[in-house]
Amino acid sequence: MSIFTTSKKNFVKLELKGIYRDIGNQVLSRSDLSPHKYFRFDYFYEQVERIVTSESVKRVIIQRWSSFSVPVFGALEEIRTAIQRLRKAGKEVYYYAPEYNTSDCFLASACNFRVLHPLGTVSFLGRSISSVFFRKLFEKHGIETTVIRRERYKGAADSFRTEKYDEYARKQYQELLDGLIGSMRKVISDSSGTGKKEGFSKEKLDEMLAGRIYMASEALETGLVDELNTIDDLTNQWNSQKFKGRQVKIRSRYGKGPHVAILVFEGMIVEGNNARHPVFGQAIGDRPMIRLIRKVRKNRFIKAVIFRINSQGGSAVASENILRELDALNRVKPVIISMGPVAGSGGYWISGTGRRLFALPTTLTGSIGVLALFFNISGFLNKYGLTTDSIKHGDSADLGSAYRSLTDREKKMIDENIGFLYGKFLDHVAKARKLSREKVHDLGQGRLWLGNDAAGHGLVDQAGGLYDAMAYVKEILGKKSVRFLFLPRQPFFVRLMTRQGAATDSGHTSHIFTSLMRNLSLKFSGLTWQENNVENEPIEGMPGIFTSAVPLALVPFLKACLSVHGEPLLMDPVMIDLMTGSENPAF
């Protein structure tokens, strides 16, 4: 059955908007409640799959907003693969952006038609890596840093260790950029001429890499784009051609057949519970992930698991704990590992199990190495008249304190521990990948690899994305179709806020709030929903929330939230804790 109406000609708009995430955030702040802050690939994946099977949808337009951001290039490969699926299903796929940058050229080359704003430009300037180095600043202000690492390519703390990229970091990053741009050029030029006109030839790409930027009229004349138009005028033209715009509903699980869980680990790896790291952002704790893995293992309906990794690493202890639980899961039901945009260090450690290991061609993976970073801010404090003191029993009771330097004995001890962990890392990879320890060390030393190179060196089984992993699961299960579900799910409150906002795209808080309160009445038995008869009377201090959308009994409570915590109910920290809970349920 089609998910759309029976109209013969429908079109769907898929928006690239916000910061890329594989799945919804598991560690929430108030800013995360915005429905358009993040682009969620799990939603995009389901939308594409529904469109592929729809007979009524004839056209799809991919609209890239200025807010769309992909921190690591590999994410674009998954999106491009999804676009190709639409095209292979016989849909007319259009790509629109107000201006085309390097990422747009990559994505648009997969579409039938490329549409550019009449005042836009087309460029393919390449990619760059830039860093800020704090060493001189810290020295000037009396802040001491100590970095102990294995080995020379392990550069996560280089911003504090050096004043610029050292020779190994420069070599590593240059090779990564060369490999990335080389892969992009090949993919784009191989797709040249897929629309009405010539498209992105190798000569034009080389010209743009040298700094050439095409104005809209030049891009149309030379065949880089097929049409100059605004998004509104384009869809209005389609409406006049009897095409009707439709939306794709999101249900977090889709398909027919055996259940397959796509279990996503996205963020820094830490011991304990989920948290928000001040530098690295979302940090996923080993305890909630282990509990979720165990629930999946015991769930008799789930027949296979794709463990998706999008992580720069973190705690070795937490990584080992997660890996052991994945091993236990793999003994009960097949586990396939799919590396996302990043799977380095601890993210690579937890990939060492399962039936098959996939990495995107441009996944950043490897980084087989270990480091420790320590700060001493006592000199900085002294400059401003602040002194510190400590009382302890044991010479190293305050080991790691930011108020003193490490002693030579402590540095030696930590160095030995770092060496021990690096040795364990080598042993683990050698066993998992069936390579010699010496070979792993040659490939390790903290070095990052692109997915294609990692596959060539035997660090992964195969270059491929989530769609390839899904195809492999179907092959294992002997099924042509499966029912997939992404895990972990976000808390009820956040799912409601983001999905309602994404579905309506209206931004009307009253609509979201009305839906929220109705659903809360089902979730909490003590809360009864009762519509108000007052029309469009705004609640004081809460613009956009009207009494017609709120039970009368709750109006005083809403005002109390505002007066006590300075926030209305939707933003009230106590209510957020109540409705989201400290831990996310598995299902």
At 579 the pLDDT is 43
Taking residues 104-119, report their average pLDDT: 96
Decide if 399 is inside a domain: no
Can you name the residues that pair with 491 across neighbouring β-strands? none
DSSP secondary structure string for all residues of 212-265: -EEEHHHHHHTTS-SEE--HHHHHHHHHHTT-EEE-----SEE-SSSEEEEEEE
Same domain, 314 and 434: yes
Same domain, 533 and 507: yes
Can you name the residues that pair with 354 across neighbouring β-strands? none
Decide if 273 is inside a domain: yes
404-443 tens-digit pLDDT: 999 999 999 999 999 999 999 999 999 999 999 999 999 9
Coil/strand/helix, residue 573: helix
What amino acid occupies position 182?
A: G
Same domain, 543 and 478: no
Which structural domain range is residue 115 located in?
A: 10-125+211-246
- Look at residues 221, 246, 271 and tell me which one is the last residue of a structural domain: 246
Name residue, tokens 């060493």: 135
Same domain, 551 and 576: yes
352-398 tens-digit pLDDT: 999 999 999 999 999 999 999 999 999 999 999 999 999 999 999 99
**Residues 452/179, Cβ–Cβ less than 8 Å:** yes
Same domain, 226 and 361: no
Same domain, 436 and 466: yes
Give this prediction's pTM: 0.82
Same domain, 333 and 237: no
The count of C-alpha atoms lying within 13 angstroms of the C-alpha of 467, restricted to the half-sphere facing its C-beta, is 17
Decide if 134 is inside a domain: no
Same domain, 324 and 472: yes
- Look at residues 452, 487, 522 and tell me which one is the last residue of a structural domain: 487
In the predicted model, is pLDDT for residue 517 greater than 60? no
CATH classification of the domain holding 284: 3.90.226.10
- Of all residues in the chain, the percent with pLDDT exceeding 90 is 69
Q: Count CB neighbours of 395 within 10 A.
A: 10
At 495 the pLDDT is 58
- Look at residues 457, 487, 517 and tell me which one is the last residue of a structural domain: 487
Decide if 394 is inside a domain: no
Same domain, 314 and 359: yes
Domains: count for the chain:
3
Same domain, 528 and 545: yes
Decide if 175 is inside a domain: no
Decide if 170 is inside a domain: no
Same domain, 341 and 483: yes
Per DSSP (E only), the strands in 360-464 are 364-366, 370-376, 448-450, 462-463
Q: Is 405 exposed, middle or buried (0-12, 13-18, 19+ CB in 10 A)?
A: middle
Same domain, 241 and 353: no
Decide if 150 is inside a domain: no
533-587 tens-digit pLDDT: 444 444 444 444 444 444 444 555 555 555 554 545 444 444 444 444 444 333 4
